[in-house]
Structures are given as C-alpha cells and as structure tokens.
Chains A and B, each alone.
Chain A
C-alpha cells in the first residue's frame, strides 16, 4: 500500500481512537453517577459494579433498581437522539436540523397534552397513558413523512417546511389546551416538556434499548449513501449509485422512529440532537461511517453528564436534563463552533 493510503488509514485509526476514549469516559462517568447519592460511597459502588465486592440486598436494590435505570436511559436516549440528529442533518443537507425539526416532538407534545389536559389516552394504564399518547402522535408524524416520501419531487427543503408547519399546527393546539388547562394540568404539561429522566422503569428502558440497538446498524449501513448525499447533493449522489429520494425517506423514518421512542418516555429533549453531531464532527470528521458511532457516543456522554449534574448540583432538587443540556451544552457548543475560526480585528 502506498504512502497516501497509509496516511488515510492512520487518520481513520486516530478518529476511531477518539470514539473509544469517549466510550471509556462514558463508562467512568456511569460509575461516578451510580455512586452519587447518600447511603453508598463511590469506592463501594465501584467495587460492587466491578464484581469485586458482594452487595447487600439494599445496596443492590439502590444501585441497580434506583440509580441504574436513569443512567442507562441517559446513555440510550442521548445516543439515539444524537444519531437521529446526525442522520437528519446529513440527509437534509442542513446543519441547523435536529430530531425535533420534522415535527415528531410536536406530535408527541400534542399526544401528551391530550392525555394530561383532556384525559384522552389510547391505553387505560395510568402510568403509561401519556407515554402511549406521545408515541402514537409522533408515529402519526412519521406516517406523514412516509407519505411525503411518495411524492416524486419532494426535496429536502420541503421536508423541513412541512416539519415546521406540523410544529406550528401542533403547537397551536397544545397552546389552546394549555389556555384552558387547570394549574395542576399546566404544571404537569410544563414538566413533561422540560425533558426528564426521572425514575424510568427498567423494562421500558430495555425496550427502548432494543429498538435503538436494532436501528443503529441500519443507519450505519447507509453511511456511504449519506456521504455522497452530503458531499454533492442529489445529482452527485445519483451518479454515485444512490437514490436520494429513497435514502432520504428511509433515513427520516428511521430517525423519526428513534426520536419518537425516546421522547415519548423522556419528554422534549432537543439540544443533544442538534449539538452532539456537530461536536462529534470536530473529532471524527464528516464521514458517516465514523460520524454515526461518534455522535451516538458523544450524545450518550453529554446526556449522562447533564443528567448527573442536574441531579447533584442542587440536590435533593433535580434539574431536568433538558434544561441542564441547554445550560452546559450551549456555551460548549458555541466554543467548539467558534474555536479556530479567528476573530475579525
């Protein structure tokens, strides 16, 4: 192999190394997050988690039933939303797009509002009513996306504009319901819209995990197609053997599904899907073969970090992860984007 190819391989290895560093950092952060709180100290937690010490029933229950589900949810949710963001930015050729752009979140919010304010739920299980509604209504948006994909001349801009229209329509209905809601209903709706990881059921976390783990390899399979689409647009992609309309529709549906399944449980968490892919780009570049895993790991780390900070900063008060993400992620995101661009003197 010649010098150019060897250098390319070396660059790729460096980028993969960055991903592994982030994976390791996320694992360490998880152990720290598991240790935080009264009753069990960090050393004991680390020993129990690593299997170096037997745990009592209470310790085991605190670590695995109370502390672990939100941590796993943060990792899975962050990875899913960041991956969805990277995929959508790529296939729509727009760096401002996030998983919420297509109106999936607005659909979910509408479903949640119907459950909270009007008491209309599609399942009769009290603790799952809001979640099921949010998921169903976000799926309706996914269905609209699939139908849009059947129009032959649908462009990336059209998808974004339809998403904005859905957001406005759903937003107007939610606002109307909020206007007539009682204080208690309004409080619950507001809390849902903050985005939170408080006390998810382990079984639900596992279900979300299974869906995300199944969808991620499919996204990776389309890496080359996304590379062609983002580098040169539709004509360039066709010349490279990619059908832009089909790949765009498939990727949008996959991203919307990943987003739906997460935000139905967590509420509106948008920032990680916008920022994490851009942060990952700084480390691994724009090649989707590395950007997809890079975004997933960055998203997982960012969400876990924000959630951990939100739980500990003003303990016992928990700041919702959606708020923490914007507070700590926003300035960091701006720093990364402006770094190295110079300042006009």
Chain B
C-alpha cells in the first residue's frame, strides 16, 4: 500500500533559527501518529509545513502522491485538513455553518443535499447535534475544539493534521477527543490517517500507533510507543527522569514522570 504522506528532507528556519532540519517522514493508511517534543521543538511548524501554511526552505512533501508544493490550495484541502490549536473568530457563526465550511472545497457556491447530509452525519458523529444552532463563540473551549474537528471531518480528507487538540480540555474531553481521532483512522475500506502534535506523553502512548520524537529540529526516534518512549529518550528530549509501566490487559502503557534532570546530573 502506498503511503498517505511522504516527506523527505524538510528544513525550515525563521531567519537564523533552524526549526526543522532535514526531516524525513512517512505515514501509512489507518495510522495515528503522534509528534512529541518540548515547546519550540518544531511540532506545530512541521504540521504547518505539511499543510503549506508555511513553505519549507527545502524538501519534498507528497500527500497521496500529489506534490504539496505544486498542488492548488483547493486541491490540497480535499486531501488534508489542519486543526489549529485554537481558533480566533472575528465574527461568529452557528455551529452548523462552521461545520458546513468543511464542505467549501467540494462545492462551488450553492450547497447540495450530499453536503448537508455530510454535515449532519458529522455533527452526530461528534455528538454536536444539540449545539448545531448555537453560536460558535458561546461554546466552551472543549466544545469549540470538537466543532473545529467536525469541520475537518466534514472536509473529508485522507490526512488529518491536529495541532495539540487536547491542550485546553479537561481529562474526560481529552479521552473523548482521542477516541474520536482513533475512530477517524479506523476505516479499512477508506483509509485515513492522522498526525497529532501533542504534549501529553501518556495520551500519546495510549492512543498513537506510532510516535515521532522531535528534538532540536530532528526526529530522534520513530516507532511504536513502546519502542520510542524509553526512559533514556524521555530524559534526552524532556530532561526528566521517568519510569515506564508496560501495557497490560487491564491498563495502557504509562509513563510516570519523576523529577527534572539537573545540569550537574547530566554531566
């Protein structure tokens, strides 16, 4: 099976600050891939480069064999959808209309029956029916996040890019959102994948098929949560000591963060 996303040699810098250094990345169908790293490691920048919000200085990105640098933004939006960390609205709309925006790449001007059906189906999938005719700016942070994810789902892409989708959410909402993302990539007949930049290593360990560990602009580890989330990798990237509890039949893999590593300890 060909990869849904294939990126090679991606480099990006803000002036003299090299954020991404020659990254290679591949995502197959039905994969949920988490990107972990400290603040400023380049997680969000990587997602933005993949979606052409930012233009990398070098490298090639292909989504479903389409060259991202050459395709029109409209064609790209049919292939992938980016969910930002937060959305700042100048003028608000009803939730139904926000989700309907996800159909914008597929429609010319007027809305078809299929588009409306997709919106309703998505609202139900994300349990947003009761909010359908409430204003987006009057919802809580968690509800707003679900609406923006619904817009991305209504867009019907093959690749989802999520930038810290659980950062502002309470514990229950975090689990709900991650279960939703898992469900999004589980359809074997029409394979979709998701790349999720995330801070919580336990959430990543529990829900991701693969983890990319980003450190100082490079991917220093790529594999299953068990392969990547080792005490030594965690110490190198996050600067903390930790204890790893393996996944059992009754509980997911857990990382217990113990203490920061002081510079004299590192030496």
Contacts and interface: CB of A to CB of B under 8 A. Distances in A.
Interface of A: 1-2, 4-5, 7-9, 11, 89-90, 93-95, 221, 223-224, 227-228, 230-236, 238-243, 281, 285-287, 289
B96 interface: yes
Interface in B175-209: none
Nearest to B129: A4
23 contacts: A1-B113, A4-B120, A4-B129, A8-B133, A90-B91, A94-B90, A95-B90, A224-B109, A228-B101, A230-B89, A230-B91, A231-B90, A232-B87, A232-B89, A233-B88, A235-B53, A238-B52, A239-B77, A240-B104, A242-B104, A285-B93, A286-B91, A286-B92
A231 B78 CA distance: 19
B188 to A, nearest CB: 26
Nearest to A86: B91
B113 A287 contact: no
B127 to A, nearest CB: 13
Among A4, A94, A238, chain B packs the most CB atoms within 10 A around the CB of A4
B123 interface: yes
A282 to B, nearest CB: 12
Q: A-B pairs with the 10 shortest C-beta distances?
A: A241-B77, A93-B90, A239-B82, A5-B116, A241-B74, A286-B91, A241-B105, A232-B87, A4-B120, A2-B120
Contacts, number: 118
B76 interface: yes
Contacts of B96: 4, 8
Given A2-B117, A4-B123, A281-B91, A238 B133 contact: no
Interface of B: 48, 51-53, 72-78, 80-84, 87-94, 96-98, 100-102, 104-105, 107, 109, 113, 116-117, 119-120, 123, 129, 132-133, 136, 148, 152, 155
B155 A240 contact: yes
B116 A233 contact: no
Given A231-B90, A239-B82, 15 more contacts: A8-B132, A8-B133, A95-B90, A224-B107, A231-B89, A231-B93, A231-B136, A233-B88, A235-B53, A235-B82, A239-B80, A239-B84, A240-B101, A240-B104, A241-B74
Contacts of A1: 113, 116-117
Given A4-B119, A238-B53, A240-B102, A221 B109 contact: yes
B180 to A, nearest CB: 18
A170 B208 CA distance: 59
B77 to A, nearest CB: 3
A232 B53 contact: no
B73 A238 contact: yes
Nearest to A4: B120
Contacts of A241: 72-78, 104-105
B91 A5 contact: no
A222 to B, nearest CB: 10
Among A223, A232, A242, chain B packs the most CB atoms within 10 A around the CB of A232
A289 B76 CA distance: 24
Among A5, A93, A228, chain B packs the most CB atoms within 10 A around the CB of A5
A148 to B, nearest CB: 20
Contacts of B113: 1, 5
Contacts of A228: 101, 104
Contacts of A93: 90
Nearest to A289: B109
